[in-house]
Chains A and B, each alone.
Chain A
Amino acid sequence: MCAFSKFAFAAILIAIAAPAFAQATTTAPIAVEQPWARATPAGAMTGAVYMTLDNKSASADRLTGASSDVADKLQIHEMTVVNGVMQMRQLADGLPIPAGGSVVLKPGSYHVMLIGLKQPLTPGETFPLTLTFAKAGNISVTVAVQAIGAMQDSKGGMGDNKSGGGMGNMEMK
């Protein structure tokens, strides 16, 4: 009984969470999991979107582009820190996603860069994003905006969020 109620609770949670965070249909060869963005500081003209791309098909694919109404231009970027120097580069050929594998876009690594933000991204809001893949075509998702210092989607529940996911009671200017 107890086990069943736990199962039922989990099922309800999944039922609630699934539409919000896994917009890709089950038939799509690429599953876009937990697309999220950080809230942007006031006046910031750029932002970054993160997610996990899970390639369920038997052939490799590439994330080649993205579009959204929230920014003028979107690019696929890789960020690295080499010898203490941060480098950010547009992936001209897109981001490869191996067959049957997954790629995580996360702070300090890959991101979809939002260039020319039309308005700041504020925590709690969502916005639509369309991802373009070389083979899978267009996949539209809904991006959830987390706090400025978030290191992952707060619904991810994977722990190791050293920033605590929020600005808390930070005193503002």
Chain B
Amino acid sequence: MRARDWLLTGIAGLAGFAAVALCIVYVVSFGGRGIGAAVAPIGGPFTLTDDTGATVTEKTLTGKPYAMYFGYTYCPDICPTTLFDLSRWIQKLGPDADKLNYVFVTVDPERDTPKLMHAYLSSFDKHIRGFTGTADQIAKIAKEYRVYYKKVPTDDGNYVMDHSAIIYLMGPDDKFVTVIPYQEDDASALAKLKNLAALTPTS
């Protein structure tokens, strides 16, 4: 009796081990490819409203590479810092500046009207356009760009926004190229933008 129990336990253990081993072999062999294929690319179609009130889509930007930053105008620190840095880099690009599109997309469509964004962006380089939209439209583009944002209530009944602080650099074919993270040094950021400008079709 006891010997048979031990035997059964042993068989079950071996079977379990084999199953685990097979799983590991499967994941190592096929899992990486499978996971890679399942990840959606960064970027995608959108319909938004620009700071002049015009409807814009991803096709508005197609043909030129673009730099896209997500933030909001009630942001007192990081957004003006980033838009100011971007403005300086645009100036340093010189003639290459016109080879790119630059977009500031709000994560706070409730407060950021086209009119407010237009006024706000008048304080930065004139190349930077503002995009806003409905809550659903913003949620869609944020999801496509894997931008995190969250409304955080403050005790005075207002709110602040947590948000990704990354400039996305996209190719002329709307394909993701790279990012400029927060506090990237000037030389590196500028090199990335110059490389992006080089992707602009010449014809």
Q: Would you give the 0/1 interface string for A108-120, flagging 1 where the beta carbon is closer than 8 Å to chain B?
A: 1001011100000
Report, as a range, how many residues of chain A touch the other chain: 35 or more
- Contact (Cβ within 8 A) A79 B77: yes
Q: Which residues of A contact B156 (CB under 8 A)?
A: 73, 75, 115
How far, in Å, is A136 (CB) from chain B's closest CB? 24
How far, in Å, is A160 (CB) from chain B's closest CB? 12
Report, as a range, how many residues of chain B touch the other chain: 35 or more
Given the interface contacts A42-B119, A43-B119, A75-B154, does A172 sit within 8 Å of B126 by beta carbon?
A: yes
Q: Which residues of A contact B152 (CB under 8 A)?
A: 87-89
Report B158-203 residues with CB < 8 Å from chain A CB: 158, 160, 162-166, 181-183, 185-186
- Contact (Cβ within 8 A) B73 A45: yes
Which positions in A face B, CB cutoff 8 Å?
38, 40-48, 73, 75, 79, 81, 84-90, 92, 107-108, 111, 113-115, 148-149, 162-164, 167-168, 170-173
Shortest beta-carbon contacts, A-B, top 7: A43-B119, A149-B84, A41-B123, A48-B76, A46-B76, A86-B165, A42-B119
Provide 25 A-B residue pairs closer than 8 Å at the C-beta atoms, listed in order of the A residue.
A41-B80, A41-B121, A41-B122, A42-B120, A44-B73, A44-B76, A48-B77, A75-B156, A79-B77, A84-B182, A85-B148, A86-B162, A86-B163, A86-B182, A107-B81, A108-B78, A108-B183, A113-B76, A114-B76, A149-B81, A149-B85, A149-B87, A149-B88, A162-B186, A173-B126
